[in-house]
Each structure stands twice: as C-alpha cells, then as structure tokens.
C-alpha cells in the first residue's frame, strides 16, 4: 500500500510561518527514552504498511550500542516500538555479522520491503535486508566495501536494475562526502558507480559545503525523482546538519536537474539545537500522497521530528532556488 492510499500525517502551516516547510507543533514525535533501554531514538525510517505505518528505528542503548528496531503506528505519529532489536535471518547470504547497525531507510519494491542501514563490518558499510511483515527480516550481502554511509534505495527498478544512492566515506566522523549512485541486478552484486552530486562551494551554498548525503527514498514526480538530503557545514562549534532537496532525472538519476541553494530546514528548535550531537536535522523518510509531504528527521542525534510541506510548493522552491 502506498501513502497515496491512506491519510499521511499532516498539520497545516502555522499562520506566522512564511517558509516552504514547517515543523509539527508536537515535535518530537519519538522521545529518546521511548524504548526502556534507550539512550536515544533518531534517524529512522517510516513506510505505509497495512492500514497504518511500519518503521525501522535507530536506537542507541544506555551502553551506546547502536541497533535497529521495528515499530508500528496507526497514524504515523504515535508509535509502538519493539523493545528488542531486529534479529536478522540469512537472506541471500550466510554472512550476517554486524558490529552495529544505524541510520536505517526502508522502501517497498515490487513484493517486499527493503531495509538499508549503516552496517558495522570492519568499518561502516551499507547493510541490506528484506521483510514482508516487519517481524521476520532477512539479511543480504553488504552492498559495498567499507567505508560507506547513507545507502538509500530507489522505490522501483531503473532500466531493470535496483538502484541505490550512497556516500563513500571513512571510518570516522567523516569530514567529507559526496552522493553516488550504484546499480544491482539482484540485490547482491553492485556496480556501475557514478557520482551524482558533490558538495557545494563555500561561497555558493555554505550549509552544504562539507558533506552531503541522501535522506529519504526518492519520490517519483512529474519532473523526475525528488530527494530530500542532508548537507553539512563545519563551523567553529562543529558540524551543522541541515536539510535540502533535489530533483534527479527520471531515466538517469545520476543527472541532477535542480538542487536547493538555500536549505529547507536548519536546526532552530531546542530539540534540534541540543542533544547528544547538537545542531542536527537528518532526514531519513518522506511520505507523499501526491499533494502533501511529511518528512521524518532525526534531531540532534537524540529524538525524531516531523515536518510538512505541499509538494507543488517544494518543487517550485527547488526549481526557483536551484544551485
């Protein structure tokens, strides 16, 4: 079931708001202690499922061990998240070793839900699993060699192949990063890696001059593929993560048609400015019913927020303010 078939979470723009996107008035929708063992819950993914929604949530426990958890919701706002991490079963591989799991994304392709995340295997790489019911999860081969982050699958095959955006990185809190695309015939072997989008020049768009990374699964629109992404600037107080958007070519997503020069959302509220990692807005999921958009984002690496916008306004903003 797609978001077009059910009512997505929504709240109208506040009268005083002049921006193209706005925050849910009751943010954060998931608190840092909503799992009893958790230190924080953030950078998580949501998709329509059944008569409501399912999600895969990043939670760091009180030992700050990083893992992913399944959760369910009727309205996409109030969540019942499992208290134990997802236990993987072998999928297209018997090698399901993992030192940690974080920053999941979820997308439905053809007959199942695919989960990608940053998987710890001699450093961060992109883990892949599939599920039909968010109860049993089947882990597949890692997509890439370490080091890589922000693996985001397209919701349909492109020219008969699976396609994934990712950000090659290093083993630390990466001080660089551009977005690439890779293709696979079978969700096991990946290749044809192509650069999609590089960081902006400081003088042109400083909020995204240090590194960028894909956020939500791409949304097919008339103009091509709409993606929300994060951009980072290295300030005197450290990294600052904000959210922008881009439109990629529908047939060749390595081509960027439009890309926001100004950000759509930047850390502003207390729950975005303060937390385990201050000054972070990190989008991981977006729901669209053809008219409205709801974006889920991690705030300050601690909690989950929700933001809204009208699709036609967002697309117009991207095209009229393109880098």
31 by DSSP, 3-state: which? coil
Contact 244, 231 (CB under 8 A): yes
Contact 136, 116 (CB under 8 A): no
Confidence of residue 6 (pLDDT cuts 50, 70, 90): confident
User: Using omega within 30 degrees of 0 as the cis cutoff, is the peptide bond preceding 186 cis?
Assistant: no
- Identify the residue with better confidence: 173 or 1: 173
pLDDT digit string (tens) for 91-140? 999 999 899 999 999 999 999 999 999 999 999 999 999 999 999 999 99
- Confidence at residue 2, expressed as pLDDT on a 0 to 100 scale: 67
pLDDT digit string (tens) for 150-185? 999 999 999 999 999 999 999 988 999 999 999 999
5 has pLDDT over 90: no
Contact 190, 144 (CB under 8 A): yes
Q: CA 50 → CA 2, 15, 57, 259, distances in Å?
A: 10, 34, 18, 34
- Confidence at residue 95, expressed as pLDDT on a 0 to 100 scale: 95
Q: What pTM was estimated for this model as a whole?
A: 0.98
User: What's the rounded Cα separation, in Å, for the pair 177 and 197?
Assistant: 10
Contact 203, 226 (CB under 8 A): no
4 has pLDDT over 90: no
321 has pLDDT over 80: yes
58 has pLDDT over 80: yes
Q: CA 272 → CA 23, 226, 267, 282, distances in Å?
A: 11, 24, 5, 10
Mapping DSSP onto H, E and C, the string for 191-214 reads EEEEEEECCCCHHHHHHHCCEEEE
Q: CA 104 → CA 59, 173, 283, 313, distances in Å?
A: 10, 17, 11, 28
């Amino acid at each position: 079931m797609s978001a077009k078939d059910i009512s997505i979470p929504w709240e109208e723009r506040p009268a005083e708001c002049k921006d193209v996107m706005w925050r849910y008035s009751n943010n954060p929708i998931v608190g840092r202690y909503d799992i009893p063992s958790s230190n924080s819950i953030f950078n998580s993914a949501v998709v329509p499922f059944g008569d409501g929604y399912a999600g895969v949530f990043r939670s760091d426990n009180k030992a700050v061990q990083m893992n992913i958890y399944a959760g369910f919701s009727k309205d996409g706002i109030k969540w019942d998240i499992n208290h134990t991490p997802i236990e993987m079963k072998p999928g297209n591989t018997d090698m399901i070793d993992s030192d940690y799991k974080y920053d999941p994304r979820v997308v439905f392709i053809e007959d199942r839900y695919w989960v990608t995340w940053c998987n710890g295997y001699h450093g961060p790489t992109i883990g892949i699993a599939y599920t039909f019911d968010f109860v049993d999860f089947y882990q597949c081969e890692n997509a890439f060699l370490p080091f890589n982050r922000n693996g985001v699958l397209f919701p349909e095959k492109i020219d008969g192949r699976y396609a994934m955006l990712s950000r090659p990185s290093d083993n630390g809190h990466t001080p660089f990063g551009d977005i690439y695309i890779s293709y696979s015939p079978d969700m096991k072997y990946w290749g044809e890696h192509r650069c999609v989008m590089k960081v902006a020049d400081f003088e042109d768009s400083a909020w995204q001059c240090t590194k960028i990374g894909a956020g939500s699964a791409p949304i097919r629109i008339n103009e091509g593929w709409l993606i929300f992404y994060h951009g980072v600037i290295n300030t005197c107080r450290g990294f600052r993560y904000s959210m922008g958007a881009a439109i990629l070519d529908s047939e060749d997503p390595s081509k960027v048609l439009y890309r926001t020069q100004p950000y759509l959302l930047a850390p502003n509220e207390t729950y975005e400015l303060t937390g385990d990692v201050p000054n972070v807005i990190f989008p991981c999921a977006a729901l669209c019913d053809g008219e409205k958009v709801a974006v889920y984002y991690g705030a300050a690496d601690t909690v989950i927020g929700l933001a809204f916008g009208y699709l036609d306004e967002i697309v117009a903003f991207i095209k009229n303010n393109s880098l």
